Amino acid sequence: MDAAKRGFPPVVDAKTCVLILGSLPGDASLAAGQYYGHPRNAFWRLMEGVIDAPLVVRAYEDRLVTLLAHGVGLWDVIETARRPGSLDAAIREPAANDLMALIDTLPALRLVAFNGGTAGRLGGRLIGTRVSTLALPSSSPAYAARTFAQKAAAWAALRDGLADTYSRPHPEPVEGPGRPPRRGRPAPRQP
């Protein structure tokens, strides 16, 4: 049987107002140690259109800093699962991340967006109606039912969750191997 695959820690900070949740990183992303690391995954191009800032040309750590500066955080619904290959349809024995524990640490959060159907189905059950959610077409190259332009039109709805962040200036990421302000497991909930 395949070994369990484990996702990445969340990329968030106290100013995160939109949290984008995928299902579980694919093999190319896991090998690269990066969210959306497959070269044909459209995530970074889609987000360039949403936040109107260059991402694809930046180093990975600078991409994360730029997303955070625009109020966007990343994580996955699934913490661990068995899955041969990278297709969501092959996911077996998923164990969910504690989404509500993370959400409770994000005071500015207004919207949770699900990148793809699997993330939406599993994550929607975990979150319920506690926070506004948005289902997005998958940025994965395996999801070819929509063109890039159609995906970009759907992803543009993320701007509503970021509306007031466009009125504030955003710092440009530091060139080089900068680290985002916070990457790690959410703090345990206090009684």
Q: Hey, which residues are catalytic here? A: 41
**Cα–Cα distance measured from residue 77 to residue 73, given in angstroms and rounded to the nearest whole number:** 13
Give the rounded distance of the alpha carbon of 133 from its chain centre.
13
- In 3D, which of 75, 54, 25 has the Cα closest to residue 182? 75
Alpha helices (H) along the chain: 27-32, 43-51, 60-69, 99-103, 117-127, 148-155, 158-161
**Cα–Cα distance measured from residue 71 to residue 161, given in angstroms and rounded to the nearest whole number:** 9
**Cα–Cα distance measured from residue 20 to residue 133, given in angstroms and rounded to the nearest whole number:** 10
